[in-house]
Amino acid sequence: MRFTRRSFLGTAAAAAGSTAILTAMGRPAFAQETRIRHFWWGNPDRDERTLEAIRIFNEKHPDIEVIGETLGFADYFTRLTTQIAGGNMPDAIQMGYGVMFEYIERGALLPLDEYIGNQLDLTHIDQSAIDAGTVDGKLYALSIGANSHMAMYNKRLYEEAGIVPGEDFDPYGWTYDDVKRIGVAIKEATGVAGTDDNTADYQNFSDFAAQAGGELYTAEGEYGPTQEMVEQYWTIWKDIRDAGATPPAQHSAGLAAVSELSRMGVVTGDSATTYLWSNQLVGVQALMEDELGAAMYPNLPEMIPGSIIQPSQFICLSRDTVDAEATVTYMNAFVNDMDMTAALGLERGIPANSQVREMLQPTLEGAAATSVEFFDNIQGKTMELHPPQPSGANEVEQTFERIAVGVLLEQQSIPDAAADFIRQAEAILRRAS
């Protein structure tokens, strides 16, 4: 009943034409009470910014009402899975680079191609960001910020140990040997461990695998890294640990797969360097008093690029949307509208819209300015985007973390653990495909 009334009014409005000014991207002006839901995982800072952006949108588009829903990362995908099963996914959902492909492959997201040029304006969006959201030639996702791996270090502790960035190490090209040397120096000078122990950090391992000449997944969707690479990676960190540059192994074991920023080594004061995503710098800085510096993940002496620049998050159109056009209108504003993007800032990473970047540039200070500087400096030092991950990649990651904890606690020798991991990774991928 409501639908007929709405379409009727819509047609009438279009015919009248005079009210076209009020329409948002060609939507009928009188179609009221279109209520769409936007769901994201966040933190208090992000939630505040996003809700502010929604408020601006609702003010500018009286015909669409956007409702924000947010959860912590740990519970986000559980809720989403439940909603998929119930057929009531929110209209616009936030996705991460890794897990998104699994959702696309299973058909939970809708492509956006038919809206390009209508509700969706891609004129100023970087081509690399568009490519990152494209699968099999169809655009599924709008990037809401570029991201890369970043080592965040406590400037005060580095200073106290007499370590000068640029002189004692190159923040954009340091090696694992540097990490060990600096880590030990900081431990000796300050009593604080110089670096977190990344034995169980899959992000770090994925960079390492590329630096060592492998890719995480082959084009056929098979597991790329060899047993030797895994052994080498764990041996490097064991060496750093044995030199005394990290917190005790048992402490690091408790942090495997932990995602809360408040439990990271730089924040708790257990270490001077923590390895995270670059968009998290703003959030981590907000939790501490000492100023943070930014560096790339360490490398092997050959300096083969291993980090990638990838979208931190996407905004996507869900299969269960109640009104695709209204939702795409909102998604479009989320990446293009100057007022909304100003409210969002750099919290989700560097925006993919060049005009938005220009607008934000002069307003940046502190951690946000550090992020932009970091991005300028890593250009040309990163590798190409990986092909989409196969199904099961998520489980492989968890398996790596679990077995690495066994390495930390010395329950298994490194060669045994590495062989065990490769065997399980292959079995998981076989079962998932």
Work out whether 386 is an interface residue with other proteins (CB under 8 A).
no
Work out whether 164 is an interface residue with other proteins (CB under 8 A).
no
H helices of 171-320, where? 176-190, 202-211, 227-242, 249-253, 265-268, 281-286
Q: 103, 202, 223, 375: which one contacts other proteins (CB under 8 A)?
A: 103
Instruction: List, in sequence order, every residue forming a beta bridge with 217; answer none if it has no partner.
Output: 223
Element (H, E) at 118: none
Place of tokens 């502190």: 366
Residues 6+ apart with CB under 8 A from 300: 175, 176, 208, 211, 212
CA atoms of 32 and 80, how far apart (whole Å): 27
Work out whether 287 is an interface residue with other proteins (CB under 8 A).
no
CA atoms within 13 A on the CB side of 341: 25
Work out whether 409 is an interface residue with other proteins (CB under 8 A).
yes
- 3-state SS, residue 351: coil
Q: 16, 20, 258, 287: which one contacts other proteins (CB under 8 A)?
A: 258
Nearer to other proteins, 160 or 401 (CB): 401
Reduced to 3 DSSP states, what percent helix, strand and coil does the chain have, rounded to the nearest 5? 50, 15, 35
Total number of residues that touch other proteins (CB under 8 A): 32
Nearer to other proteins, 117 or 269 (CB): 269
Q: 22, 253, 288, 322: which one contacts other proteins (CB under 8 A)?
A: 253
Work out whether 84 is an interface residue with other proteins (CB under 8 A).
yes
Q: 110, 152, 405, 422: which one contacts other proteins (CB under 8 A)?
A: 405
Q: How many CB atoms lie within 10 A of CB 379?
A: 9
Stretch that binds other proteins, among 98-106, 141-149, 347-355, 368-376 (CB under 8 A): 98-106
Q: 102, 201, 231, 325: which one contacts other proteins (CB under 8 A)?
A: 102
- 3-state SS, residue 169: strand
Nearer to other proteins, 319 or 381 (CB): 319
- Interface contacts to other proteins, rule CB under 8 A: 74, 77-78, 81-82, 84-85, 102-103, 106-108, 248, 250-251, 253-258, 319, 392, 394-395, 398, 401-402, 405-406, 409, 411
